[in-house]
């Protein structure tokens, strides 16, 4: 997501792949750099992208502008297995 214009990009969209580049920071692990249409750049960690729910149209378009997406709650670790006593 671009913090400047609040547009989010669908990472799996081919157009978004052109905007997102793997970069290596000297003092950190790998990070990804997103270049937005508004020329703003944003660095994010691989685990950083927040999950959003977007419409099918936004998926096809490759991005969603503000108001066109909903942030999904962070997935909580699912506890598998039932207690047996």
User: Given the rule CB under 5 A, which residues bind Zn ion?
Assistant: 2, 4-5, 36, 38, 40
C-beta pairs of 22-29 under 8 Å, 24+ apart in sequence:
none
Q: Shortest Cβ distance from residue 4 to Zn ion (Å)?
A: 4
DSSP letter assigned to residue 24: E
Task: Return the closest-CA partner of residue 34 out of 59, 4, 55, 75.
Answer: 4
Q: Shortest Cβ distance from residue 37 to Zn ion (Å)?
A: 6
Closer Cβ to Zn ion, 40 or 85, answer by number: 40
Closer Cβ to Zn ion, 15 or 78, answer by number: 15
């Amino acid at each position: 997501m671009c913090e400047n214009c609040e547009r989010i990009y669908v990472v799996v969209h081919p157009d978004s792949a052109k905007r997102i580049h793997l970069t290596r920071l000297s003092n950190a692990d790998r990070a990804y750099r997103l270049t937005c249409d508004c020329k703003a750049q944003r660095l994010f960690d691989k685990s950083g992208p927040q999950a959003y729910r977007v419409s099918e149209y936004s998926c096809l378009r490759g991005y969603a502008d503000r108001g066109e997406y909903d942030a999904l709650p962070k997935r909580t670790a699912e506890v598998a297995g039932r207690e047996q006593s």
